[in-house]
Amino acid sequence: MSWTYSKFNHSFMRDKKFRSLASSDARYLMLWFMLNEHQVSVGCYRLPDGYAVADTGFDLARYQGIRDDLEAAGLIMYDPDSLEVLIVDWFEHNPPMNDRHATGIRKEISSIESDTLRSYAEERFLMAEELRPPDKPKRVPREDVARLVTSAALQRRIDPFNRV
């Protein structure tokens, strides 16, 4: 599932691994991996070479060479059997924002075909989840509070044992 909006954490631009890349093509491809239309909220997606070549304008050999450089730099993982790309530090820059987001991420992680990439994504997701503050409790609308108070008061009048 692709999305129309993607959050980009600017701290990534200061990442030592990213800054150590030797070429602007490698930096471009890394940013493209993070922001392209194939990206999903888990940071791992299926990307046949033909899609990447068509989208980036690189020829196949150049694309594969740069992808290998990014993998050697520890920025991505690639599984040639499932054709999936995983952004290594995805959850450091894009942690789950709330319980619903985390639930969606869990579902997407379970759909990763590569066992290696799925295990890695699960591990990194759980680390990010430990750091996430709990969701704020939802506010109950005034009308509902008034209805609940009235209901409790009526119950006390009706119930001879004053159980609520």
User: pLDDT averaged over consecutive 10-residue blocks of the chain (164 residues)?
Assistant: 56 74 90 88 94 96 97 96 95 87 94 97 93 74 62 56 56
Query: Which phi and psi angles does 147 have, rounded to 5°?
Result: -65, -40
Best CA proximity match to 121, nearest among 85, 83, 70: 85
Best CA proximity match to 70, nearest among 34, 18, 108: 18
Is pTM beyond 0.85? Reply is no
3-state secondary structure of 97: coil
Distance CA 8, CA 157 (A): 57
